[in-house]
Structure 1
């Protein structure tokens, strides 16, 4: 048996035809259409198709559905907005088999439409690819041999055309946006490169310019005039920086050679002083030599470290000998330290001060004895002097406090401030009572906050005034 009207031939649709159902497969009961792709719902609501025209019942129909019918001889018709059209014949099968064969073809067409809708709506196709696919699927809907809502499929395809126009406009706008962003970024790169080219960062500048160059290469090209203009500025900045950097290091090499001459002289003098026993003057001279060493700047790397080691070695010899002499002297000063510790015990007993005049007389006597005791070991000077100075400060603090309490000018200022605050508090209390009486809660709350703050200041003023009483 053969389904008549199939444009692919007597063996059914070709497998390469994307809208055709598979060919009938022979079976015990004769040929039956093999099920095609499942009828899937569209991913988005399909546009309303023109309603199929109503038709009077056909007297020769044995099976009718919404979009088609089957005649007694197996001829199948599809109903379109333009009227009824014959799509093929399936004379040796049942009417339902004949109808199923052509509705499965419709399902295949609907599947193609749905797949195209999904890919276009998701932006999976470029506008050019989408237009080509839309034209291809539209060609499949030109009088197809299928039964179903063919007008609805055509309407769904038509609804994709405005979407494609919008996507094309969107891509065009996106390209324009990327061009604008690329231009803006390239202008920023040029500005930064020009700033680097006039700077003094010789270590990081070259790396930064290299990174800017790599970023430039990754950006979309502009139109030739703009791109060439910006590139000329960028390239010029890099060239200017490279020239200045080379000149800097050339000058630096000259400076390092000059530093080598200076440091060789300093090393010779430091070595000549290493055996000196004039501790004070020689220590001062070594400090001057160190300042000259630092001011000379770095010498070439291959001589800098050896010269420094010789310079340090000469200093170490001198200061080692000086420290040994000081250590011997410190042993002689140990007895003086014990005497001063005994004086400190007496001095620290004066604190806290209860009788200022007696404490001042006693401290003067102790200070005279302290000076007469002589020098102490260097490692004890700071500790002992600090303890004695702490007692002296405590006595002076008591003396200062007494003077402040007896200062009539400060006492008068404190009394005046106290009077002002007391009057301000009294005024706020009166205003608060009036606000409460008037039922003005908001004003009362504000006055309460002000009153609390003024009372706090008043307490502080009273405390200050009591210090003068």
Structure 2
């Protein structure tokens, strides 16, 4: 390969990337069998071959691929394609697929096709190609069609499979036929079938054969032949004889199977004369011979068809070669193929036309490919100029204006790229510009889609309104006419929509609205016309009554004026009348009305004066109402407002034109006050509710604090709650006392407990200490148990009880002393009772005494020297002198440092004393006569140290 060949860009079909080649497979025309076949047979990647197989529909090509393919996945896919074609209901498609499967020896797939409900010829061909006895048995048991089952039974030769069909066959026809096919069945076989066969007819047939094989007893009389059963047998013989004249072998096979099943069931239930049986078997033999002859003819035709297919193979190969031609030498290779075709022997007329047509079409397609390639080569010269045009379009921001140009240029590029290798640089520039344009195209489509969706939503809402208006019961003629105009306008101004289905749906709905309105508007027009004619009589009556008021106006102008107004109001709803009479009647009514009005002028003048006075009175009421509208004295003002409303009702009507204004003014003032009053009441109720919630929260917190033992914090918080309670406003009167009593009870409960807090705390501490003492005393044995053995882990239990005692809360000395004595007595009893268990531990009395003596000496050593001189031996003057010396020493130079050192020493001594006290509390038991002197010395030393420390602090 030269350098130029390496630099030349590759087409998708020869691209090294399999995914690109798969794209080329999908872009190849489905009719280009040669290209697809080349992909399926020659491509190195199994994925590409599989994709090509998916697009091939020619059964012969698929069979060739399945026969020669090395990858089992592609091979199975090709076979699956053949099975899918063979399962179709189109015999023209299914028959070649069955033949291909037969040539491959795929009997399992053929059995699947045979069991499906496909064309009769396809099923027969599939069964004829199956040789495996198990596959034939499966077809006989499970095929959907009776003819397929019976044909499979006829082709069975294995006795075990025939017996299996008789036993496990779900269908009666196949099961009975299998029983008939059994050759010299043993009594055990027939018994097994009669008992276990799934088909009832097979059981009956087996029982019949069993009875026939058993010798008749000599002493018994002959069988009882019933005439009804014999007549049924003769009818079945006649039916079987009539089958010999049926020309449709599919119908004949099904009728024969049904007749055999009926005959077997008859023999299982009744005794039939031998001559009738012989006649039936003779008629059955005739039908079977016809069926066998038909099967033989079909097999012979199948053999001839296969021979013809073999003869067609060479010509089909030439056709496939022409269909796959391509490249620069296409014309030469096409000429060679034509020469080869013409040099082949003549074809039979039966199949020559199909192959001639295929070869001619392949030649025409090859010529078109060659012409397209030449045109593309010529057009490729335009590529250097075509790419800049596309780039210029991609730089144009107004995509809508250049959209049609982009489509035209893209079509030209695709036509050239399909048949010509394009320079990589030009291809890259095109793809970059095309990506920009495709982005613009997507944006354009999105915008257009949004506009179409919005337009659809607008039209749907409009149609919904039309439908609602059209379904209304009280439509007038004017409204219906306007609605029809709106529907017509909507039809003419729909605009673009997302899909044609949306437009059709809207048109259907609009047409439905128009259809529903057409008869209604016709009815309304007719009703309007009748209404106009009916109004004529009413108008004439009103004219007569108005003319009768003319003399009444002289005698009783008030009554005449009121009656005139009534007639005017009655005229309005009946004003419509036929044009020929409407003007005359209105002129007559108007003339009488003018005369009545002229005679009532004085009355109207007096009435106007009275109404002006009423207007003045009502305006005064408005002023009074407005003055009270902002009042907050709700009760008194409400009563006053109600009084004003009563006065308003007593005042008569006002001048025409002012009724509404003055009434609205008065009502606005009243409404303003009562609205404010209602709002105030709502606000007060809301405040009451809020105050109640706040007080309930305080009550809940107070009840929680009432059980607290954090005395100071709880007392402070309770007092704060009481202050907060006073700042909260009132609540609803019905709940005020209850919430207050609840809060006060919680506060009283806490303060009662607060007064007795010391006794409560002391009781709790005593309980803790008492529990530790009781636990230790429980370990002490009874006096009478002298020989008792020590409990298990005695020392651990004693130590646990002592730890709880030491960690117990502080108690007053007078309260703690008795408990300490009980603790010491219990420990001493345990130690003296079982000394070995405590030997060498911190509870050993000998060790305890030594530790106590050391602690006493330690504390006594911490006492200052002056402590040895009792204060009681010093006179007041000596004490004053000592204090004076200490004060002077504190004021001298360097006294501050000495004082600080002394304070540090005293603090260290105080820590030592506290440490000694803690160690003393942890001391083990000791005999009372030994412990008491040491305890007294230790207590005295501690008291002296504390007293001296307190005095020193007071002096400082």
Q: Give the TM-score of the pair, scaled to structure 2.
A: 0.22
Structure with greater Cα Rg: 2
Q: Give the TM-score of the pair, scaled to structure 1.
A: 0.40
